[in-house]
Amino acid sequence: MGKTSVARILAKAINCESGGKGDPCNTCRSCREITDGSSVDVQEIDGASNRGIDEIRELRENVKYMPSASRYRVYIIDEVHMLTLPAFNALLKTLEEPPEHVKFIFATTEPHKVPVTILSRCQRFDFKRIPIAKMVEHLARIADSEGIEISRTGLTLLARESEGGMRDAQSLLDQVVSFTGPRVPDDRITDILGVVDRSLVLHTCEAVLEGAADECLRIIDRLYISGHDLKVFYRNLMEQFRNLLVCLISPDDSILDLSDQDRNTCRALAEKAGRDKLRLILDLLIHREEALRFTSHPRLLLETTLIRLSRLGDGLSLEQLLNRLSNLEERLVRAAGSVQASNGLGTKETKARWEESPEAGARDEASAPERSGPDPGKAWEDFLKYLSRESPPMAGILREWRCAALQGNLLELARGGQPFSANYFDDPDRVEQLSRHCKRFFQREMKIRIVGSTSSQSASPAPPARETGAGDRTGRKSELPPPVKEVISMFNGRIAEAPSAPQRRKSHKEGSK
């Protein structure tokens, strides 16, 4: 029984001449006319074809007239959500002050598309889905009475495709019987309805859980050649993995619309897969569903998705990742404790110190920290990831710099090559901010040292740019890489100090004048 059938019964109940308590007699003149569809006081309007404002205006003019023979004039508007917004607005005035002799009955499958102003003036009845088990029993009684030979598996497929509507299930049964005759094989049902065989969906789940990516590709190829809708198959696959997960979590079999045989098969397969893996598979399927909905290449996207699902077992499990993370935390804590013990407990820095050596290659070897303890490169990368969340601009600048040393309470940074990034930490406030981030991440005060010769120190202005003397030039030339030395000798070049940022701005202003 559908929405419009219930609407006709309601129209009979309020117009029945027998005067019963809401139960139509189906024998009086009014009930017979409504059953035959000949009642002039009960009108059915298709909202999809009469959706404009002109039709609603005509309806508003007609509601003024009294019923000809019945107690009420009843307007049944099917698929009311198809009306346009101006049509709804025109109907709203009538709903706000309806005539006493008029009743409106709206039927829709998508109530969320009806404006709230209309819904608030209606008494709403939501029809529930009929359980598949009850639908199968009812269809079996119909098949027995009509002499139709059909298995319970076939009836279950019909009930599932009807999505909880008994009338739709009966229509599907009539459609199948008209093709096959009184004997209905199960494979013919799937061909006639154009649905994917449930056993093939279950076989796909097995291939994914076993990591058989090649078998998944063969299944998709069969579906594609057969002309099946791959998007419908994707939804069936999601539903099947949902059934597997529910089998593990809930002992209530009523949540699953499955036969006893399918339920046992799903439970065995789910226990073999495990809860964590099924949850990851469902998360990925849900994430990729929107992309599949709008793609013009569903086969390609479905193939890549199934390959990725079948390779989930190649990586580490969640429990293994947690164990590795726990071991890493313990190692970092032990390493931090040993470093603090070696540096002494009484020498805590209360303020970040800005120290800059004149040149990266000329700093004292004795004062440079030894490269020992935990991997400084890994610790620096972890710090940059942390800083990307706390201060993305500063993290972007530091990615152009280089961590020259990270040992104990010392962080030594080499300047970046770009002009802006190289002078970013000329501002002491930025150094203080970096120090605070270091303290929160490393859990100790950090002494920050800047190395390089592309900017001035923060404590005093940089000396003006000058050419180095011959002796200084000779000393620096000995520190250069061999290819650079060859270029300098070839072009008779010389080494000069790079001007600082204030000097560049000053020279730019003078040049513009």
pLDDT tens track for 414-459: 887 776 677 788 888 888 888 888 988 888 888 888 887 444 333 3
Residues 507 and 408 in one domain: no
CA-wise closest residue to 291 among 245, 217, 230, 336: 230
Residues 166 and 216 in one domain: no
| Number of domains into which the chain is organized | 5
Starting at the earlier edge strand, list the strands of the sheet with 410-414.
Answer: 354-357, 447-451, 410-414, 402-407
Residues 210 and 166 in one domain: no
HEC string for 112-129: HHCCHHHHCCCCCCCCCC
Is the pLDDT at 75 greater than 90? The verdict is yes
Average pLDDT over residues 494-502: 66
Q: Provide the pLDDT for residue 217.
A: 93
Rounded Cα gap, residues 64 and 59, in angstroms? 9
Final residue belonging to a domain, choices 68, 95, 119: 119
DSSP string covering 240-256, please? Answer: HHHHHHHHHH---GGGS
The answer to whether residue 174 is domain-embedded is yes
Average predicted confidence (pLDDT) for the chain: 79
Query: Domain containing 181 — which CATH number?
Result: 1.10.8.60
Beta-strand pair 73-78/42-46: parallel
Average pLDDT over residues 109-113: 90
Q: Which of 182-186, 249-253, 491-495, 498-502 has the lowest mean pLDDT?
A: 498-502
Final residue belonging to a domain, choices 166, 193, 220: 193
Average pLDDT over residues 385-413: 85
Average pLDDT over residues 96-115: 91
Contact of 220 with 292, CB cutoff 8 Å? no
Contact of 435 with 441, CB cutoff 8 Å? no
Rounded Cα gap, residues 273 and 125, in angstroms? 42
The answer to whether residue 458 is domain-embedded is no
Residue in the structure block whose two tokens are 């061999």: 482
Residues 105 and 71 in one domain: yes
The answer to whether residue 463 is domain-embedded is no
Query: Which structural domain, as residue segments, surrounds residue 86?
Result: 3-119
Q: How confident is the model at residue 409 (pLDDT cuts 50, 70, 90)?
A: confident
0.85 exceeded by pTM: no
Residues 385 and 276 in one domain: no
Contact of 122 with 106, CB cutoff 8 Å? yes
Contact of 500 with 455, CB cutoff 8 Å? yes
Residues 9 and 111 in one domain: yes
Q: Where are the alpha helices (DSSP H) in 344-418?
A: 376-390, 392-398
Q: Which of 89-103, 206-220, 253-267, 357-371 has the lowest mean pLDDT?
A: 357-371
Query: Domain containing 281 — which CATH number?
Result: 1.20.272.10
Residues 214 and 137 in one domain: no
First to last CA, the chain: 90
Contact of 171 with 159, CB cutoff 8 Å? no
Rounded Cα gap, residues 56 and 86, in angstroms? 9
The answer to whether residue 127 is domain-embedded is no
Rounded Cα gap, residues 135 and 130, in angstroms? 7
Is the pLDDT at 351 greater than 80? The verdict is no
Is the pLDDT at 76 greater than 90? The verdict is yes
Q: Which residue has the higher pLDDT, 348 or 394?
A: 394
**Of all residues in the chain, what percent carry a pLDDT higher than 70?**
76
